[in-house]
Amino acid sequence: MPKRKIIDTIIRPYFLLKRIFLHSLDLFIPNKMHRKHVRAYLTFGKIKETINPQPYSHKIAVAFCFDENLWRQATVTILSLLINSPKVSYDIYCITNVSHTHLARIKKIVTQYTKRSTITFLKPNKDFSKSYCGAWSDAIYWRCMLPKLLPNIERIIYADVDTVFTSDLRDADKITMGDNLIAGVYDKPDREYINSGFMIMNLNRMRRRSTYNEMIKWSRNHETQFPDQDMLNAVCADRIMNISRKFNLQIDGAYDALKTMTLQQRRDLKSPVMLHYAGPQKPWKMEIRKFYSFDIWRRYASMTGLF
């Protein structure tokens, strides 16, 4: 029997017992949210932040999109990326409509923490003004404008701003995408459907395939629960690449996702690249400050001086 298989056989009953124990928490912790966070803590333990000391020469293009409601949160995300990337340079692009005063504050914080990276602010266009938004802000479509607003950028890493980075982006940069338009992490374990909170976007290929116009058309003609995410999954279907969950560790759904993970995938999560506070529980909203991994977000938030 190969060594790996022996280890798996020994460890599996342990995981099974742990799962049974975690399930039995229903009996002791009546609040669903509390339960979720206790489970996440017992499953993943303390999240490790990793700073890679090796130099990395390729400059990485990164994009964030935010309006006035989230500009302070965006600053936290950007700051966490810079602090965890002392040896990596980024060209950071923000699609945003926030005031000049706020942009100046973001820029000041960025220049304070890096000399190797740049930040550029771009205004959203009106191409998605007739698209369906439901209860969401029209800012959900801004990420889709990247192929058009950045005509000279080949590919870009997009991230939401309800996130915090715990490592640099070199591993994401090294991923070969081939013909795929998007690389991302599956939202639910049992469905080939990516969460749009972290995406490597192959802008060149999107332009060549006129994906941009297809996105506009689809979003005008469909009214769904997650308009932009549903649209991206539909328009890019079959050309979506699934990447490690460590790039987009959704605190909300982490425990559920475990069911289908291999041991290697679990190990991957011990040192994630980005934590995503998807769902309604946000670290800047919660009164209970001890929720799983919220302390990491709060640490960076306090460094911005904006919270």
Residues making contact with Mn ion (CB under 5 A): 160, 162, 197, 278
Cβ proximity to Mn ion, 8 vs 67, nearer residue = 67
| Minimum CB distance to Mn ion, residue 195 (Å) | 8
| Minimum CB distance to Mn ion, residue 9 (Å) | 38
Q: How far apart are CA 58 and CA 55, in angstroms?
A: 10
Cβ proximity to Mn ion, 168 vs 252, nearer residue = 252
8 Å CB contact between 197 and 165: no
Cβ proximity to Mn ion, 114 vs 195, nearer residue = 195
**244 three-class SS:** coil
| Minimum CB distance to Mn ion, residue 198 (Å) | 9
45: left (phi over 0), alpha (psi -120 to 50) or beta: left
Cβ proximity to Mn ion, 205 vs 227, nearer residue = 227
| Minimum CB distance to Mn ion, residue 24 (Å) | 31
Cβ proximity to Mn ion, 255 vs 277, nearer residue = 277
C-alpha 49 chain-centroid distance: 16
| Minimum CB distance to Mn ion, residue 160 (Å) | 4
Q: How far apart are CA 206 and CA 209, in angstroms?
A: 5
Cβ proximity to Mn ion, 76 vs 114, nearer residue = 76
Q: How far apart are CA 217 and CA 167, in angstroms?
A: 37
Cβ proximity to Mn ion, 160 vs 230, nearer residue = 160
Q: How far apart are CA 99 and CA 82, in angstroms?
A: 23
| Minimum CB distance to Mn ion, residue 100 (Å) | 26
Q: Which residue bears the tokens 């919220």?
A: 294
8 Å CB contact between 93 and 142: no
Q: How far apart are CA 21 and CA 28, in angstroms?
A: 11
**Two tokens, residue 45:** 């333990």
Q: In this structure, is the dihedral angle defined by the CA atoms of residues 200, 295, 252 and 256, taken in order, positive or negative? A: positive
| Minimum CB distance to Mn ion, residue 162 (Å) | 4
